[in-house]
A and B are shown apart, each in its own frame.
Chain A
Amino acid sequence: MSEEKTHMVPYSTQIAALLALLVLTGLSVAITQLEFGGYNTLAAMLLAGAKAVIVLAWYMHLKYEKQLFPVMVAAVFVIFLLVLFVTFFDYSYR
């Protein structure tokens, strides 16, 4: 609605978010050199997840939107993970 207040994110916040994203990218490249056994993929996904949260919250303004939006986004991710989970009921036990 045009009468609703829009939130302005200062440049400094956006630069800070970018720096955080770049650090996390560096980290995920760096950990491929280390040996965590089966946990490497998990660590890579966690780092990617953290980056996704930064993009969603600051760049896509979810932090500043009405509560409905973050709830819907979370629901979509949950549905995706459930589909993945249910699919693997088949593939894990064949």
Chain B
Amino acid sequence: MSDNTNHKEVSYLEYQGKYRGILGWILSTDHKRIGLLYLYTMLLFFSIAAILGLLMKTQLIAPGETIMGPQTYNSFFTLHGIIMIFIIVVPGLPAVFGNFFLPIMIGAKDVAFPRINLLSWWLYIIGILIVLTSQFTGGGPPDTGWTFYAPYSFQTPTNVLPAVFGAFVMGFSSILTGINFVVTIHRMRAPGMKWLRMPLFPWTLYGTAWIQILATPVIGITLMLIIAERMLGIGFFDPALGGDPILYQHLFWIYSHPAVYIMILPAMGVISEIIPVFSRKSIFGYRAIVLSTMAIAFVGYFVWGHHMFTSGMSGRALFTFSFLTFLVAIPSAIKVFNWVATMHKGSLHLHTPFFWALSFLFVFMIGGLTGLVLGALATNVHLHDTHFVVAHFHFIVFGGTGFAFMGAVHYWFPKMFGRMYDANWANLGWGIFFIGFLSLYLPMFFLGMSGMPRRYYDYLPEFHGMNILSSMGAWVMISGILIIFANLIRSARSGPKTTEKNPWGGKTLEWQVDTPPTLENFDEIPAVDKTPYDYRDYAENTNS
């Protein structure tokens, strides 16, 4: 393109490329626009899945059938799981904030393969559409749960094939994003940005991208095997033909456990960005965080069996997986320690992103520690497939990734849209959401410990009290979400404009470019000569 005389001042939002209007977005190879495309898609589907969740909690407000029967309930938790896992949290932070900020934070003009990046988004949309057809065609909505466990997944008359194939296509999208990020980080860092001068969010994206590359093909082939099983009766997972259903569980979790780290690692990266900025203090133990990120990515690959403690594995496999599970807790704990130590003697600035980061620490610790309860063999036998498990992974996946996602939105919002949100409404939304979250999920721990199983639309009368609390928490949490979304959507359209480059006092490169960024991010690629969170100047200024 030859018009580089005047487009320097125009932001990526106003830039007029080859196409106009909506085509200028859905055919754009600009990493920032692609990031926003993902954000809008996720916003839509998060709302749908959250409503499904709300309806399920409403069904559980009293024993027996209140608003839906068992078959509806089964298809609801299946669709809720598929949307939340495959459409929201797995692509989540990398696809939205990774796309938008990874190139800027390492001082690049775009990702390594911009057109493949756009292809990723299109594959993602195509995958979503295929999954959606499963709801309206064939034998009715799938009722297998998002795990598609064999042998039920090839015996149920419901429409499992499109759901499985859609997830397969979305896997492709995830792989391509991973390839893009690894190559971008290797080849396109600004001059002087050595590996150990890279900010921590890109570091976690790097670990995540490797998991996406090395684990996603496993789910790809596993889902193909389910398709072959349903269509051809190939027999790999069918005990009647000699197959072993537990092998399906192995293959499924060889991907799906690392997928949990695809979800949580970038969340840890976001928190590692927010905490030093609002503490005005260099991050404590930068190298330890980098190392623990890579350690989680590696060890996390070999702990899949802890989802199968009651499936009938050999005793030796049981304690191997239990041991490895306890190992992977160590690097996570190191990070929590580092974040708390960063805040220690910092100059804390209480803004919305920091509230989200603080509450992340709180719920992540509960989620992590209850994970150890489930990782221990003896307690697992008691708690397996109860509401305890549901509470645990909602604390990690929603409490971890979800809180970090909200923190990231509120942190980077002014940079992305060039407008500011209303801080009072944002804080209020956070408070209501947090209270709702805790009263929704904390009772589930107690319900699980007293034996209420998951994935049933009904329960025994003695569980009634806690379920009322939990269901009311769901309504409170949804109110919080409504306030947050309304505030953000309104502010993105008509909030007060800002062109301030660095509203929070951040040190990483995204706070040195224009607000909102120009098409090529940088007029001139910056040279980097120090670590990413150097707040020595702040300390000197306040001491003198």
Q: Give the B-binding residues of A (Cβ under 8 A).
A: 68, 76, 79, 82-83, 86-87, 89-94
Contacts and interface: CB of A to CB of B under 8 A. Distances in A.
B214 A76 contact: yes
B10 interface: no
A55 B264 CA distance: 38
A93 B254 CA distance: 19
Given A79-B301, A83-B301, A83-B302, A89 B214 contact: no
A90 B316 CA distance: 7
Nearest to A88: B317
A24 to B, nearest CB: 28
A79 B258 CA distance: 13
Contacts of A94: 313-314
Contact of B254 (A76, A83, A91, A92): A83
B214 A79 contact: yes
A65 to B, nearest CB: 13
B162 interface: no
Contacts of A83: 254, 301-302
Among A76, A79, A89, find the residue whose CB has the most chain B CB atoms closer than 10 A: A89
Contacts, number: 34
B242 interface: no
Given A76-B214, A79-B214, A89 B317 contact: yes
A90 B301 contact: no
Mostly, the B contact residues are helix
A90 B214 contact: no
Top 7 A-B pairs ranked by shortest CB distance?
A: A93-B314, A90-B317, A89-B317, A93-B316, A90-B313, A94-B314, A89-B320
Contact of B314 (A76, A79, A82, A89): A89
B516 interface: no
A89 B308 CA distance: 13
B316 A86 contact: no
B214 A86 contact: no
Contacts of B254: 83
Interface in B172-214: 186, 214
A90 B314 contact: yes
B480 interface: no
Interface string B303-344: 001000000011111001100000000000000000000000
A90 B250 contact: yes
Interface string B15-38: 000000000000000000000000
B302 A93 contact: no
A93 B317 contact: yes
Contacts of B316: 89-90, 92-93
A86 B320 CA distance: 8
Contacts of A86: 302, 305, 320
A78 B535 CA distance: 41
B302 A90 contact: no
B380 to A, nearest CB: 16
